[in-house]
A and B are shown apart, each in its own frame.
Chain A
Amino acid sequence: MIANFGYGVLFITFLVTLYSVFAAIYGDRRQVPALVESARRAMLLTWPLLTLTAGVLIYLLVNNHYEVQFVYEVTSRSMPTYLKITAWWGGQAGSLLFWSWLMSAFASLVTLRKWDRDREFLPWVIVVACITMAFFIGMNVFFENPFAQLYQTFDGVNAYTLKPADGILFTPQDGRGLNPLLRHPGMVIHPPMLYLGFVSFVIPYAFAIAALITGRTDDRWIRLTRRWTLWAWLFLSFGLVLGGRWAYDVLGWGGYWGWDPVEIAAFMPWLTGTAFLHSVMIQEKRGMLKHWNMLLVILTYDLVIFGTFLTRSGVLSSVHAFAQSAIGPLFFAFIGFTLITSVALIFYRWSSLKSETEMTSLLSREALFLLNNLLFMSILVVCFWGVIFPLISELFTGQKVTVGPPFYERATSPLFATLMMLMGVAPLSAWGHSTVKTLGRAIWKPILVALVVTAVLFATYTQKIGALIGFFLVALVILVTLYEYWRGAYARQRSQGENILSAFWNLTGRNRRRYGGYIIHISMMLMAIGILGIEIFQVETQGTVEQGESLSVSNYELRYKEIAQWDDLPSGVNYRRAVLEVYQDGEYLGQIAPRIDYYYDSQQNMTIPGQRSTLKDDLYVLLVDWEPATAAGATFKVFVNPLVNWLWLGSFLFLAGVIIAAWPEKEAERVAVKAKARVQQQTSAAD
């Protein structure tokens, strides 16, 4: 009953989005503002409707309604309530609904603003947002119904949307339960974060398409979506970091990023998104690159849909992939449709995207930003090729191949290194004009200090040339960025007479984008320290030891102390927990306890590592589950991951940096700036 109600609401929402699309198009073409307003209201209606639908689904999930197929597939009686709620995005049908719900929330937020100055955009933003929504909701309604119920018929037990003629409702006693891998806190929040990032990139795209269709191809669409882009980028970045943390904590192979095709599918829109973030600044400051920004945002949107498609279609082999289903071809059709119409539109409006393109120096900030874009696009090319190559190889030679980490690492390392070099130079260059002399004067001191740091590392830590280059670049970027920051604060201190601390604070407050950006750059360098540490210096060992025996790796010694096994029947888990004593250079440091959790409902193991984390390194121990684990002998895999915690530390600073950069300016400041701009306009007009 309730499930049918949920489906009914979903179906109505589908009709509402269709209505919205047609009303907006018709209202715009025939100049009927009332229809456009009606379309806007219809779009606003989708969010409460979808919230109701989601509410029904969550109700079914929490209350063990196993006659509903989705509930049966992703929950079980032994799961705690909070996990039953998060199981909403734990399966194909539910995650599509979650996507739609987020999409309607953002679309509604956008339509709630004042539209007086941008009347022409409104209908087309509605059209793009609602077509996207209609697609996702349509897939739920027609192909992956989260409310389909299990009926027993002559052919056995199957899921149906509507009760079949001879069917009897079938209610299993218990559900299959959520994949144990998805029950970890990091995993709970990783899909929502990623989806937030994906979905919010639809808004800048919608505005770009509106700009192309209406012919208002000036900066307006960028200014309107600037903040959206930043938040979208934040969510996407955080989603990626959380995915990495989850992989590290739960997947049990001592790493955080495997260059798996689905990981790359989420990484690609991040690359174009970052390029876009930078190049819109060029358009705002210098009026250049209008075509390029259009292309970038279209590319980002299509990569988002493509990424969602790759995860679900079975086209690529991946550990992430959802089970195959009929929606693959539909996604493909949608991608084809959006790609072709977007490209056609941009060709159509090419000549109206006029730019006053003029550069005076190859070292000016805009030139360096262009280089930045080239590098990000190059990394994108490498990633895209790596993902698509197995497909091409199989098509043309019949031979299946794997493109794994060695290719990606080798191809992208020089590109990332060049990007870091750029990050060290760009803050010192000025918009419009910079010469080798001005830059050289500014940069020689940081270069010197960075060289000193590198020399110290050479003497004390490592002689590996790759690592030294990496650390040099990290030091350079941090020094240059801090130097710029300090210069601004110092100048402010002298002109405003503030003390240095409030100078820093006010400086950041007055120019949040720039200084937030600097903080983000520094946080990325901290993350780079972590990545360099674990990628270059990781050591591992594996061995079978009896109780009392020891394993050694690096300067650690681990003595196998004991093992215990017990059942937690209410949770449906069997635990096996080993305890090892950790010694470093003979000194006792503490205990470490890796576990194997066996889930009865899904009959799957989870290997949870024991970790000892410091800034210097991570001692990471796994109890391998393919060998017996008893007091007589247990097999352990031990990793020493130097510097990896800088990666997580950097991500916190990153969060702070983006929040600062995206924090809205105070109303009074904005008015003051506008007034100043108007005055400047008037005085310059009088010249």
Chain B
Amino acid sequence: MSNNHLRITNYGLLLAILTAFIFALSPQALALAQGPTPTDDEVNRIAKQLYCPVCESTPLDVCPTEACRQWRELIRTMLAEGKSEAEIKQYFVEHYGARVLAEPPNRLVTYLVPAVVILLGAFMLFRGFQMWLKPSITEADVKKSAKREAKPVQDPYIAKLEEELKNRK
């Protein structure tokens, strides 16, 4: 690139940056940055994951009481302030207790205990299988034993026994 070209590019860039800076500081820009009022759907997306702190087992997005309405509006305000989902949930937990979350905070214990019990059950079943499983007498085995026996003695009773053994499953 020639020197002239570079200078124009530099000035152009500077101008662009300056313009952007001025624009960003303008009131419209500030309003845009705060964003429009969060919609019901955005509020519900978070409210769905929370439970009403006073009602029994009711998710926050469907609870019809006055208290729940206030909490949903609180979520709306916090969203408008730009708080993230995690921050909002954290706020609720700090002020209303862990029971507002849909899952206990201590996830390890919650999932570990049933997992251990289930594995225990599977282990017991496995041991049961080991105890009960008898290998079946397949055709190949019978043929093999018959061949081994066929040569020496031709005792009629033994032959009959072999016959019956062969036919049995």
Chain A interface (Cβ < 8 Å from any Cβ of B): 252-254, 258, 260-261, 288, 317-319, 321, 357-362, 367, 370-371, 374, 377-378, 381-382, 385, 389-390, 393, 399-407, 411, 433, 540-544, 605, 607, 624-626, 635
Closest A residue, CB atoms, query B39? A543
Specify which chain B residues have a CB less than 8 angstroms from the CB of A288 in the assembled complex: 132
In the complex, whether B100 has a CB less than 8 A from a CB of chain A is: yes
Query: 8 A-B Cβ contacts within 8 A?
Result: A319-B55, A321-B56, A358-B132, A378-B121, A381-B121, A406-B103, A407-B110, A411-B114
Closest B residue, CB atoms, query A542? B40
Specify which chain B residues have a CB less than 8 angstroms from the CB of A357 in the assembled complex: 131-132
Closest B residue, CB atoms, query A607? B64
Determine if B133 and A362 form an interchain contact, defined as CB atoms under 8 angstroms apart: yes
Closest B residue, CB atoms, query A627? B69
Specify which chain B residues have a CB less than 8 angstroms from the CB of A367 in the assembled complex: 129
Chain B interface (Cβ < 8 Å from any Cβ of A): 39-41, 44, 51, 55-59, 62, 64-66, 68-69, 97-106, 110-111, 113-114, 117-118, 121-122, 125, 128-129, 131-136, 169
Determine if A402 and B102 form an interchain contact, defined as CB atoms under 8 angstroms apart: yes
Determine if B57 and A360 form an interchain contact, defined as CB atoms under 8 angstroms apart: no
Determine if B136 and A361 form an interchain contact, defined as CB atoms under 8 angstroms apart: yes
Determine if B99 and A381 form an interchain contact, defined as CB atoms under 8 angstroms apart: no
Determine if A406 and B132 form an interchain contact, defined as CB atoms under 8 angstroms apart: no
A319 to B56, CA, bound (A): 6
Determine if B133 and A385 form an interchain contact, defined as CB atoms under 8 angstroms apart: no
* Residue of A261, A542, A607, A626 touching B65 (CB-CB under 8 A): A626
A626 to B67, CA, bound (A): 11
B92 nearest CB across to chain A (Å): 12
* Residue of A260, A371, A544 touching B125 (CB-CB under 8 A): A371
Specify which chain B residues have a CB less than 8 angstroms from the CB of A319 in the assembled complex: 55-58
Other A-B pairs beyond A362-B129, A402-B101, 11, CB < 8 Å: A253-B62, A254-B62, A357-B131, A361-B136, A385-B113, A389-B104, A399-B98, A404-B59, A407-B111, A626-B66, A626-B68
Q: Given A359-B133, A399-B98, A404-B51, A374–B122 Cβ distance below 8 Å?
A: yes
Q: Which 6 A-B pairs have the closest CB atoms?
A: A404-B102, A542-B40, A253-B62, A401-B104, A400-B99, A378-B118
* Residue of B39, B41, B125 touching A374 (CB-CB under 8 A): B125
A536 to B125, CA, bound (A): 33
Q: Given A358-B132, A360-B136, A411-B114, A405–B102 Cβ distance below 8 Å?
A: yes
B94 nearest CB across to chain A (Å): 13
A407 to B110, CA, bound (A): 8
A359 to B57, CA, bound (A): 47
B76 nearest CB across to chain A (Å): 12
Specify which chain A residues have a CB less than 8 angstroms from the CB of B131 in the assembled complex: 357
Determine if B102 and A359 form an interchain contact, defined as CB atoms under 8 angstroms apart: no
A164 to B6, CA, bound (A): 105
Closest A residue, CB atoms, query B116? A381
A626 to B69, CA, bound (A): 7
A374 to B136, CA, bound (A): 25
A221 to B69, CA, bound (A): 57
Specify which chain A residues have a CB less than 8 angstroms from the CB of B55 in the assembled complex: 319
Specify which chain B residues have a CB less than 8 angstroms from the CB of A402 in the assembled complex: 51, 57, 98-104
Closest A residue, CB atoms, query B128? A370
Determine if A360 and B121 form an interchain contact, defined as CB atoms under 8 angstroms apart: no
A399 to B106, CA, bound (A): 11
A258 to B133, CA, bound (A): 42
A402 to B99, CA, bound (A): 5
B100 nearest CB across to chain A (Å): 7
Specify which chain B residues have a CB less than 8 angstroms from the CB of A382 in the assembled complex: 114, 118
Specify which chain B residues have a CB less than 8 angstroms from the CB of A540 in the assembled complex: 41, 44
Specify which chain A residues have a CB less than 8 angstroms from the CB of B111 in the assembled complex: 407, 411
Determine if A399 and B97 form an interchain contact, defined as CB atoms under 8 angstroms apart: yes
A628 nearest CB across to chain B (Å): 12
A367 to B114, CA, bound (A): 23
Specify which chain B residues have a CB less than 8 angstroms from the CB of A403 in the assembled complex: 103-104, 110
Determine if A626 and B64 form an interchain contact, defined as CB atoms under 8 angstroms apart: yes
Specify which chain A residues have a CB less than 8 angstroms from the CB of B104 in the assembled complex: 389-390, 393, 401-403, 407
Specify which chain B residues have a CB less than 8 angstroms from the CB of A318 in the assembled complex: 56-57
Specify which chain A residues have a CB less than 8 angstroms from the CB of B110 in the assembled complex: 385, 389, 403, 407
Determine if B98 and A401 form an interchain contact, defined as CB atoms under 8 angstroms apart: yes
Residue among A381, A402, A605, A635 facing the most chain B CB atoms (10 A cut-off): A402
A253 to B59, CA, bound (A): 9
A403 to B102, CA, bound (A): 6
Closest B residue, CB atoms, query A404? B102
Determine if B122 and A400 form an interchain contact, defined as CB atoms under 8 angstroms apart: no
Specify which chain A residues have a CB less than 8 angstroms from the CB of B66 in the assembled complex: 626
B157 nearest CB across to chain A (Å): 16
Determine if A544 and B103 form an interchain contact, defined as CB atoms under 8 angstroms apart: no
Q: Given A374-B122, A403-B103, A360–B51 Cβ distance below 8 Å?
A: no
Determine if A317 and B103 form an interchain contact, defined as CB atoms under 8 angstroms apart: no
* Residue of A371, A389, A544 touching B40 (CB-CB under 8 A): A544
A404 to B133, CA, bound (A): 41
A317 to B34, CA, bound (A): 40
A504 nearest CB across to chain B (Å): 31
Determine if B57 and A261 form an interchain contact, defined as CB atoms under 8 angstroms apart: yes
Q: Given A318-B56, A318-B57, A370-B125, A401–B65 Cβ distance below 8 Å?
A: no
Determine if A625 and B64 form an interchain contact, defined as CB atoms under 8 angstroms apart: yes
Specify which chain A residues have a CB less than 8 angstroms from the CB of B64 in the assembled complex: 605, 607, 624-626
A366 nearest CB across to chain B (Å): 9
B103 nearest CB across to chain A (Å): 5
Determine if B99 and A541 form an interchain contact, defined as CB atoms under 8 angstroms apart: no
Specify which chain A residues have a CB less than 8 angstroms from the CB of B68 in the assembled complex: 626
Q: Given A253-B62, A542-B44, A406–B102 Cβ distance below 8 Å?
A: yes
A271 nearest CB across to chain B (Å): 13
A438 to B125, CA, bound (A): 24
A299 to B120, CA, bound (A): 18
Q: Given A261-B57, A401-B104, A404-B103, A543–B136 Cβ distance below 8 Å?
A: no
B141 nearest CB across to chain A (Å): 13
A270 to B65, CA, bound (A): 34
Determine if B40 and A543 form an interchain contact, defined as CB atoms under 8 angstroms apart: yes
Residue among A317, A362, A405, A407 facing the most chain B CB atoms (10 A cut-off): A407
A288 to B114, CA, bound (A): 27
Q: Given A258-B57, A377-B121, A385-B114, A359–B101 Cβ distance below 8 Å?
A: no
Specify which chain A residues have a CB less than 8 angstroms from the CB of B132 in the assembled complex: 288, 357-359
A401 to B105, CA, bound (A): 8
A41 nearest CB across to chain B (Å): 45
